[in-house]
Amino acid sequence: MPRQLFATTGYTVGAKEYTELEGVPVTAADATALPSGPCTGIYVTALGNVAGTLASGGTFVLTGLVAGQIVKINASIIAATSTTATGIFALYPAGNL
C-alpha cells in the first residue's frame, strides 16, 4: 500500500509545526520496529486498541480509538498483541521519509 498524505492543523513536533503528515501503512508485529523509524503519531481507519513500544523503550496501550483518529505518540513498534484496531498508519512529517 502506498504512503498517504494526511492534512492536519497545529501538529507540533519539537519546535516545528506541520500541516501535513505522511502515513506509512503498518502491519502490527510484536518485535518488529517500524521500517521508517519511530513515528510522530498514528492514524487508525477502524476502531479498536493499539499497543506497542515507545521510542524511549516504554510500552503503551491506547484503548477505544475511533476510525479517523490521529494520536500523537513517538512509537517505534506497533505490537500485534493487544492491538485490535485495523488500518493503522505510522505518521511522519511530510517530506521527511
Give the model's pLDDT for residue 1. 42
Give the model's pLDDT for residue 93. 84
CB–CB of 67/79 below 8 Å?
no
CB–CB of 75/32 below 8 Å?
no
Q: Please tell me the number of Cα atoms within 13 Å of 94 on its side-chain side.
A: 11
Give the model's pLDDT for residue 20. 77
CB–CB of 89/27 below 8 Å?
no
How confident is the model over 35-74, as pLDDT tens digits?
Answer: 999 999 999 999 999 999 999 999 999 999 999 999 999 9
Split at pLDDT 50, 70, 90, the class of 9 is: low
pTM of the model: 0.81
